[in-house]
Amino acid sequence: MSNYIVVTGAAGFIGANLAHALNERGITDVIAVDNLARAEKFRNLVDCEIADYLDKTDFIARVQNGDFDGGIRAVLHEGACSDTMETDGRYMMENNYRYSAILLDWCLEQGIPFLYASSAATYGGGQVFREERACEAPLNVYGYSKFLFDQLVRRRLPDAASQVVGLRYFNVYGPREQHKRRMASVAFHHFGQFRAEGRVRLFEGSHGYPDGGQMRDFVYVGDVVQANLHFLDHPERSGIFNLGSGRAQSFNDVAVAVINGCRALAGETALTLAEIVQQGLLEYTAFPGELKGKYQAHTQADLTRLRAAGYDAPFASVEEGVSRYVQWLNRQI
């Protein structure tokens, strides 16, 4: 049983892509852990080969009971509540912090690699995105839950005899995120809007940025998966690392890429942002009041530590990644 890899959040966005990537390597000894209260997530695993499925509550109980002692090769911990608008702090901390802490300590006791999902939400409204305490000031309880766990990891790392890797995901987009509904990427929502209405919507300008000009580090899920597998292949490397593309691009860039991707499917030529706005294919809506004080208007991953750890693969631009994603979404229709 010692060859099993546990993927938590396995029916979720990044977890499902990781499970499929393990299959592509010929690895089917995967224990998928998730919470299928939102049942439609099962579709992410229909074409995936797994050895077993466990509810997240059953899994952690069995871990604490010693059922898996000596039987697991590695844990890829992607499971979390990722709704940045969630207001139940007790649920968020139990789900994202306490659960993760139990798994971390078990992996350290077992001497097995523990790779987990952190988040750029740990930086909050800051302008410097470097993996240092001075740069971290989360704006919501989701970001705080991830920040607090990173702090726990920092305390454990000096004495850790096995691998612990935290990957601070920036704005991830790509296949298998449809179940996230309102928390799915802007690229996913734009594709749906354009198919349904022939236009897409973005926020008006804010934080000193023009309409649709707010900027994020958008990273394609395929690149996120490859970085995870890199660390899985190098168990001697530990730490907390940013995982974004390393470049900030505007929401307008995403909208243009989606619209032109859809136009290409219809055999139509690409348009510039100005042409898209002029033709009414993109419209801007008022910036929502409930996001004031809780919104990151600019993110850009500092990849210095990731590169220093030996990960040298390129990251797709918005234009490249969204083009691939639009083609994938079109195949699902």
For 220-256, the pLDDT digits (tens) are 999 999 999 999 999 999 999 999 999 999 999 999 9
For 77, phi then psi, to 5°, come to: -95, 95
Exposure of 100 in the CB half-sphere (CA atoms within 13 A) = 30
Q: Is 4 annotated as catalytic? A: no
Q: Is 142 annotated as catalytic? A: yes
Report which of 255, 5, 299 is spatially closest to residue 129, judged by C-alpha positions.
Answer: 299
Q: Is residue 284 scored above 80 in pLDDT?
A: yes
Catalytic residue (one of 99, 116, 142, 325): 142
Convert the pLDDT of each residue in 115-154 to its tens digit.
999 999 999 988 899 999 999 999 888 999 999 999 999 9
Q: In the numeric block, which tokens belong to residue 34? A: 């998730």
Mean pLDDT of 58-63: 96
Q: How would residue 85 be classed by pLDDT, with cut points 50, 70 and 90? A: low
pLDDT at 285: 96
Convert the pLDDT of each residue in 167-212 to its tens digit.
999 999 999 999 988 889 999 999 999 999 999 999 999 999 999 9
Catalytic residue (one of 180, 294, 295, 311): 180
Against a cut of 0.85, is the pTM above it?
yes
Pair 239, 310: CB distance under 8 Å: no
